[in-house]
Amino acid sequence: MADAMQGSALSQDYSPAQAQPLQTERVLPQKSGPLAVIKDRLRGLTHLRLAKRIVRSALAEPRVEGFAARDIGQKQLIATWKDLHTRGLVLDWPDVGFQNHSEFEEDGHLLYIFSLAGTTNRTLVEISAQDARVCMGTNLVLHHRWRGFFFDGDPVFVDEGRRFFAAHPATQADPPVFESRWFDKDNINEHLRKLDVPPEIDLLSLDIDGVDLHLWQALTVTRPRVLVAEFNNAVPSDRAITVPYRADFDYRKLPPEHHLFRSASLAAYVAASRAKGYRLVAVNSLGFNAIFLRDDVGVGIFPEIPASVIDANPSAQRMRAVHWPVLETLPWVEVG
């Protein structure tokens, strides 16, 4: 699950800048002696200063080694997948998954879906993207020139993400939107409307480790063709439940043994998504990220699967065995 909580899980008045440092800044004493003199003389050499500046600049750049090769490789993959599809072959999810910027194999899953089902405006929204180096939308933005709207509740992550895209050769000229926003079910539509998010987008990624399902139910300003959402796989597949809604919900304020009291079960996502006209088509290999398609997308290619698909997932089995006996006693809300 995402390490950084987005706004609905934190107080509206919270700002990382308000946090007190663990230590006060130390003032180092002025150094003297032969070594200090040598260092002062070295600082005066222009070529050494230039070399130091180049090293610092290189360290600040995003990691782009092999970018061109990955770019070409993904385009070759798309051509291969499309060719196989014209021959009547649809591959299984384990055969198409790969990780470039996604947390696990979702980059491949998403690229495969859009390769076969097509796109409209190649626009995505990602809520709780952290600095976007590891998230669902970055691969599509960098390698396939999608338009991105990235959000995180932590302004430090947002600043880092803006620097990442501004320095990357694929997005230097036209970086995606990256904003610090605190989302709740009462403001999500207004926030997206003010930024001119289109009424239809190709992808929504949602992972706030809190009242995620409530935001999905409240979203009306745009209709994504594909939804990627993290669910709570410690909950049995036959329980359609979510945490109760609070705009300031924060699992970190709970006792440590209750920290997995967050988000919603897969069955709850299935119920809420069906009500909005979406079907479950895939779950990642660790059994906690789900992909939903709008009912008019990928028809005849990607069939619906039941929530019970995670019952055979070893990771989900372990999560339930360890955590569900405690979580079962907490005040979940049924989703009908």
Residue 3 covered by a domain: no
In the chain, the number of structural domains is: 1
Residue 1's pLDDT is 46
Task: State percent of the chain over pLDDT 90.
Answer: 79
pLDDT higher than 90, residue 257: yes
Examine the pLDDT at 27 and tell me if it is beyond 90. Answer: no
Residue 86 included in any domain: no
pLDDT class of 63 with cuts at 50, 70, 90: low
Please indicate, yes or no, whether the overall pTM of this predicted structure exceeds 0.85. no
Q: What is the DSSP string of 59-85?
A: HHS---TTHHHHHHHHHHHHHHHHHHH
Range of the domain at 187: 97-334
**Domain presence at residue 250:** yes
From 296, 123, 317, 310, select the one nearest 204 (Cα to Cα).
Answer: 123
- Check which CATH number belongs to the domain holding 184 and give it: 3.40.50.150
Rounded CA-CA distance 138/238 in Å is 33
Residue 205 lies in a domain: yes
Residue 153: inside a domain: yes
In angstroms, the Cα distances linking 152 to 18, 192, 323 are 17, 13, 28
Stretch 82-109: mean pLDDT: 96
Categorize the per-residue pLDDT at 22 as very low, low, confident or very high, splitting at 50, 70 and 90.
Answer: very low
Q: Give the model confidence (pLDDT) of 31-51 as tens digits.
A: 445 554 444 554 445 555 444
Q: How confident is the model at residue 15 (pLDDT cuts 50, 70, 90)?
A: very low
Q: What is the mean pLDDT of the chain?
A: 86
Residue 240 neighbours by CB under 8 Å, 6+ apart: 265, 267, 268, 270, 271, 334, 335, 336
The C-alpha atoms of residue 12 and residue 130 are separated, in whole angstroms, by: 18
> Distance between CA atoms of 8 and 11, rounded to whole angstroms?
8
pLDDT at residue 336, rounded to an integer? 85
- Looking at residue 33, its pLDDT comes to 52
What is the reported pLDDT for 62?
A: 56
Q: Is the pLDDT of residue 157 over 50?
A: yes
Does residue 22 form part of some domain?
no
pLDDT(9) > 60: no
Is 254 a domain residue? yes
Q: Is residue 307 part of a domain?
A: yes
